Amino acid sequence: MLNKFLLSFFFLPLSAGLVAQSSAFGDSSLIGKWVFKGPENLAGKCIKALFDGDSTIFQVTEAGGIWSASIENPTKWSLLNEDEQLSQPIDAAITDKGILVCTKSDGCLIFNSGIWLPSTGLISMTDFGIPLQVRARGSNVLLLAHERVNALGKMFTSIYSSTDAGKTFQRLLIYDPDIYGPPSYFDLDQPIGSEALYLLYRDSLAQLNTVSGNLETLGRIPLFMFGEVFLSGAVYGDSLRLFAQVGNYTYVSNHRGDLWQQVGFHNKLPSTKANFMADPVDSNKLYAAHIYLETSTDRGITWNPISTPDGFDTDLDSLPGYPSGLAAYTNDSFFVFHKHGLHLIGKSDYGPKYITPSITSTDALEAVVVADSLWLSTNYFGLWNTDNNVGSRKIAAHFGARIKKQDSLIWVFNDSILSVFDLRQSFSTPIQTIPHQLVNLVRSNIPAVTYKNQLIVGGGYRLQDTTSGSFIYTFEFNSGNITAVRGDVNFDLFPYKSERISALGVSPLSANIRYVATNFGNFYYSADSGITWTKTTFFSLPDTSLPGNHVIYTSRENAAVVYVAGSGKRGIPIHRSTNGGRDFVPFSTGLSGIDVLDFNSLFGDSILLAITNKGPYIYDKHHRRWEACTDTSLSSFRPLRWIHSENRMAYTVPGSGIWEFEMMPKPKKDTSIGIAEVADHNCRIFPNPVTQSIILSCDKGVENITGIDFVNYLGQKTFAAEIPRDVYKIELPGEMPSGLYIVRLRNKELQVVAQYIIRKN
């Protein structure tokens, strides 16, 4: 989960009282926990997981081992071929004579009761070819392979069949993949309950004839024009139905595949093959495993994700590899076979934890906080929602998207599509999604702000002629619909100049006051909601920062105050204006050579925060300079560029995952716990999420704060330190256990002048 990588300090004033910590789920059962069931001591990754349809599951590992376990105890595994393991296995299948394993160098072999029997009829795989896929049902086997069949050395694609469980093979056909398509268009499949084997090749469906051993062409698949086709099947009593998946759509056919009908739409955007299976009891019920586990109660016409009671879909995208098989041994428990292992979902495994998607430090892009959950946009894994108590699930395949939240609306958009979520109506499904070709920009660098029910975006276009433009677009959400309006002012003043909008700002105190920055260093202000714009003279913005944009921050206390920020590599990264953008002064002491990626404030404008490529910084008003909240010797920060709530910010550290920073609220005076009133201090503490330390910041300096104590809930002092004058950083001892602590600041008279609660993860 996300908090696997999290060093999180949550701060509360002690006057809020101590609340007992308990699970969000209590003792209730939760259907849908995914648990890895492969033995961790396997020698090498699992290249194929198999199920005999009765009581035993198998794994073939890359080291050539065959392991078995009972479905009643899927964590206890035994190695079946300890004395003789294979070299470089590629694929495997279960036949009625044993386990057929095809290797890169030794051809195919059958394993039965500890004895290996080689297959015959195949050309030498050592010198001439490589098996790609093998599928079996009963005694029928189909093998797909690459072969070099002449002296020219060209690789062809061959299909072999066997009707004696792989003892002998016959080549059915051979063809040139340059003419008929690469092997990736093939799919050898094994419909549940059928003795037949079906092969999808070229644009046709074929079946292995169990009498003649020939491959009989059944029907042409008229679906290739729409994309890659994945084939699967399910059995209703004695009737076999074939399913073809093309993108989001499911088509159904009779057993010959000569007539296809569209029957379903998978609403969870499957991007890989779906494995279909019929319920062993209810003939109207189907299951499909792809990125999500879905069920249909009307024979595949409509599909719905199988969800937990709290609405979190059973998500497979976080598991290693895509599904390679699906089998059920009870009505409510499933084994899902993956390329790299075996996983189980069902009522036999309860718990509030989920596997988190493998989001690396280069994937995370932007985040917003909604209640206790984090909405996270990634470059390559789409849009995710992560709850620290429950886990993660994928919401949409909006890659490299921006996220903006305003009241109950969440806007998600990239360079080609825009969706809006209304949290009052739906948590995981957008109210509306539209393509927006109005905004032609590089993905993830689109400048945008929100105001009420509007998303205001800086975009542009370039036509084939000499016309170009850089405009403001306003997307407005009303009554379930999105409308788009383009502003009249073109900020690209000259043909071919390609000046684009790099930042936007709207004052929260007056919507009439708006600002625009451009990538050419120009700044504009408007006092009439963007109808007319005035350029700030004798002022040039700093270079854009790492994401390619500037930052505009409008004050929450004074409508005339605005900050603009960018890169500090070759200039001053932050400037401030106190007259609505008419002129600016530098505001960057302590930020030399640092890129500012976002800017915010807490408690009005009393605390100023900046996210930079060196981590978060806080503005010390007493010393009139910016102070680092992290160890600045670490130069590898890749921050999430936007502060995503009033007192939190998140960023990534390569190799260390996602980190979250939370600023504490001001402590309140509370005479009931003996806090002395120190009106001239307003001290606060906040964490350094890298070095296991906390930073102490007081408005009037810390010269009168002489000590700090950590007390656990048993009243035991676990850590204490004396604070020399003007020392801001307090290192925490590494042996401090995780948990909740009361933190007390002492003055030289040993009075407690401030007291907080923190939680150390």
What's the rounded mean pLDDT across residues 546-565? Answer: 88
Confidence at residue 582, expressed as pLDDT on a 0 to 100 scale: 95
Q: Stretch 433-441: mean pLDDT, rounded?
A: 54
User: At 463, which helix (H) or strand (E)?
Assistant: none
pLDDT tier at 337, thresholds 50, 70, 90: very low
Helices (H) then strands (E): counts for the chain: 1, 63
Looking at domain 500-633, its CATH architecture is: 7 Propeller (2.130)
> For residues 652 and 654, what is the distance between their CA atoms, to the nearest angstrom?
6
- What beta strand segments (E) does 124-222 contain? 129-137, 140-148, 155-162, 170-175, 187-189, 198-201, 204-208, 215-220
- Cα–Cα distance between 607 and 312 in angstroms, integer? 37
- Of 127, 231, 140, which Cα lies nearest the Cα of 189? 231
Model pLDDT for residues 590-605, shown as the tens digit of each residue: 888 888 887 877 667 7
Place of tokens 């590494």: 734
For 467-531, strand residue ranges (E) read 468-478, 481-486, 501-506, 514-518, 523-526
Q: How confident is residue 107, by pLDDT bands cut at 50, 70 and 90?
A: confident
Structure confidence at residue 339 (pLDDT): 41
The residue ranking higher by pLDDT, 498 or 35, is 498
pLDDT at 536: 95
Condensed to tens digits (0 to 9), the pLDDT of residues 440-466 reads: 444 447 888 988 889 998 876 554 444
High-pLDDT (> 90) share of the chain, % = 8
What pLDDT, on a 0 to 100 scale, did the predictor assign at position 522?
Answer: 93
How do residues 636-674 score in pLDDT, each as one tens digit? 445 444 444 445 555 544 434 445 555 444 444 333 333
Banded model confidence at residue 211, pLDDT cuts 50, 70, 90: low
Residue 761 has pLDDT above 80, yes or no: no
Q: Are 514 and 501 in contact (CB under 8 A)?
A: no
- The rounded distance, in Å, linking the Cα atoms of 103 and 61 is 12
CA-to-CA distance for 364 and 381, rounded, in angstroms?
9
Average pLDDT value for residue range 499-522: 92
**In this predicted structure, what is the pLDDT of residue 389?**
45
Residue 709 tokens read as: 């104590």
Residues 52-104 pLDDT 10s: 767 777 878 777 888 887 766 666 778 888 767 777 888 888 888 899 998 88
The confidence band for 586, taking pLDDT boundaries of 50, 70 and 90, is very high
The HSE-up count of residue 213 (CA atoms within 13 Å, CB side) is 14
Give the residue among 358, 325, 354 at the shortest CA–CA distance from 342.
Answer: 325
Nearest to 358 by CA among 378, 388, 336: 378
Q: Which carries the bigger pLDDT value, residue 519 or residue 760?
A: 519
Domain boundaries, the chain: 500-633, 668-760
Which of 27-41, 122-136, 393-407, 532-546 has the highest average model confidence (pLDDT)? Answer: 532-546
For 294-320, write each residue's pLDDT tens digit. Answer: 777 776 667 776 654 333 344 444 443
Mean pLDDT, the chain, whole residue set: 66
pLDDT at 504: 94
| Dist. CA 430–CA 428, nearest whole Å | 7
Across the range 412-437, mean pLDDT stands at 71
Residue 480 pLDDT: 78
373-394 pLDDT tens trace: 667 777 655 677 655 444 455 6
pLDDT given for residue 592 in this prediction: 83
Q: SS3 of 549, please?
A: coil
Q: What is the structure's pLDDT at 528?
A: 94
The per-residue pLDDT for range 128-157, each reduced to its tens digit, is 567 778 888 778 888 888 777 665 567 777
Q: Which fold has domain 668-760?
A: Immunoglobulin-like (2.60.40)
| Structure confidence at residue 216 (pLDDT) | 72
What pLDDT score was predicted for residue 184?
39
Asked whether residue 705 carries a pLDDT value surpassing 50, the answer given is yes
- Report which of 142, 37, 135 is spatially closest to residue 94, judged by C-alpha positions: 135
Higher pLDDT, 453 or 607: 453
Per-residue pLDDT tens for 709-751?
877 645 567 777 777 665 666 776 766 666 556 677 787 777 7
Q: Residue 308's pLDDT is what?
A: 40
Give dist(CA 378, CA 601) in Å, integer: 25
Cα–Cα dist 247/252, whole Å: 14
For the ranges 218-222, 276-280, 554-558, which has the lowest average pLDDT? Answer: 276-280
Distance CA 3, CA 683 (A): 28
Q: Residue 342's pLDDT is what? A: 44
What predicted TM-score, i.e. pTM, was given to this entire model? Answer: 0.46
Whether 507 and 514 have beta carbons less than 8 Å apart is answered as yes
Per-residue confidence band for 432, with pLDDT thresholds at 50, 70 and 90: low
Whole-number pLDDT of residue 357: 37
Choose between 422 and 694: higher pLDDT: 422
